[in-house]
């Protein structure tokens, strides 16, 4: 009697089967392994690309935006010294995880339609596995950043200092996951009927990148537009990440809490849409 399956014709608006999803944690692990392996399959350098890509991007940003364009890397006024290389690296590492997770999650129905159409499992398994598999690459890149951070910290000559704000890092990573998965599953739910939207995701993410303080500091933003600029939920994540790693910078509790509010709202809306679409997506995809 313990293995009985209950079949019902009535569906709740918010029926996520979270307990059932946890029972499929072994499948989540297998999907994480599959996603990570497929990402670097048939490549010569394999997972080393997780290091090479952000490293090269950081070098390009340092040369183009830092040296040639001369864009400021200051988030606040004052005299202090932060290596531009570290400034660009932490921004790129955070953005790469957010953008990659959002983009991959937005295709979750399309990529997994073969298995979803043949085998039953809680559909939330797929986006969860996508976020966790991306977290492996992020972990590798973050360790690389910490290595450079320690080098500059030990070398001295910078304004970097160790503070209790480092404890914020896990919370910021969690917020990136919540926001990226939320937007991703909203897009994946809509694109089951309107495939055109999928074509705009990559383009939209590129525009969004330059609307975030990754290639420049907040001091470049005119003061009269700063409030509007900080409404972007990714901006407080990036600036707070820098504040935590460098020991100072820009942090506004109001905008940070607003960013969390947007992240949670987007995530909840995404879950509701996902729970509705997953029942019928095979008929429309």
CA-CA distances (angstroms) from residue 146 to 89, 143, 151, 174, 217? 10, 5, 8, 18, 20
**pTM (predicted TM-score):** 0.88
CA-CA distances (angstroms) from residue 279 to 21, 114, 272? 16, 15, 12
What digits encode the pLDDT tens for the residues 167-206?
Answer: 999 999 999 999 999 999 888 888 766 666 767 888 889 8
Burial of 110 (0-12, 13-18, 19+ CB in 10 A): middle
Tokens of 147: 């290595």
- The single residue listed with the structure tokens 């995880």 is 97
Tokens of 275: 């729970």
Write down the pLDDT at residue 188: 85
Q: Whose CA is closest to 227, among 255, 253, 193, 195?
A: 255
Side-chain-side CA neighbours of residue 39 (13 Å)? 19
Burial of 119 (0-12, 13-18, 19+ CB in 10 A): exposed
Write down the pLDDT at residue 69: 87
3-state DSSP helix/strand/coil percent for the chain, to nearest 5? Answer: 70, 0, 30
Burial of 152 (0-12, 13-18, 19+ CB in 10 A): middle
Extract the residue ranges of the chain whose pLDDT is less than 70. Answer: 1-18, 42-46, 114, 116-117, 192-196, 198, 278-285
Write down the pLDDT at residue 1: 44
DSSP state of 76: S
Could you give phi then psi for residue 92, rounded to 5 degrees?
Answer: -70, -40
Write down the pLDDT at residue 9: 46
For 153-175, b/e burial (b = at least 16 CB within 10 A) is beeeeeebeeeebeebeeebbeb
């Amino acid at each position: 009697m313990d293995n009985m399956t209950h079949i019902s014709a009535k569906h709740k608006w918010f029926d996520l089967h979270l307990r059932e999803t946890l029972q499929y944690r072994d499948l989540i692990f297998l999907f994480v392994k599959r996603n990570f392996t497929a990402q670097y399959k048939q490549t010569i350098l394999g997972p080393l690309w997780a290091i090479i890509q952000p490293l090269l991007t950081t070098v390009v940003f340092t040369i183009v935006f830092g040296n040639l364009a001369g864009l400021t890397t200051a988030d606040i006024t004052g005299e202090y010294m932060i290596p531009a290389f570290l400034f660009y690296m932490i921004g790129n590492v955070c953005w790469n995880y957010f953008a990659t997770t959002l983009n991959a999650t937005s295709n979750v129905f399309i990529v997994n339609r073969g298995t979803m159409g043949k085998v039953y499992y809680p559909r939330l398994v797929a986006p969860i596995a996508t976020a966790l598999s991306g977290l492996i690459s992020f972990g590798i890149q973050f360790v690389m950043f910490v290595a450079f951070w320690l080098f500059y910290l030990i070398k001295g000559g910078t304004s970097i200092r160790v503070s209790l704000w480092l404890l914020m890092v896990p919370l910021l990573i969690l917020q990136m996951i919540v926001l990226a998965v939320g937007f991703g599953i909203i897009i994946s739910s809509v694109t089951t009927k309107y495939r055109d939207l999928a074509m705009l995701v990559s383009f939209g993410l590129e525009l969004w990148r330059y609307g975030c303080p990754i290639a420049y500091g907040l001091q470049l933003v005119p003061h009269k537009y700063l409030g509007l600029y900080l409404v972007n939920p990714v901006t407080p994540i990036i600036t707070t990440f820098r504040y935590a790693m460098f020991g100072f910078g820009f942090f506004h509790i109001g905008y940070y809490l607003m960013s969390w509010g947007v992240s949670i709202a987007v995530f909840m809306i995404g879950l509701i849409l996902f729970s509705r679409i997953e029942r019928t997506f095979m008929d429309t995809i």
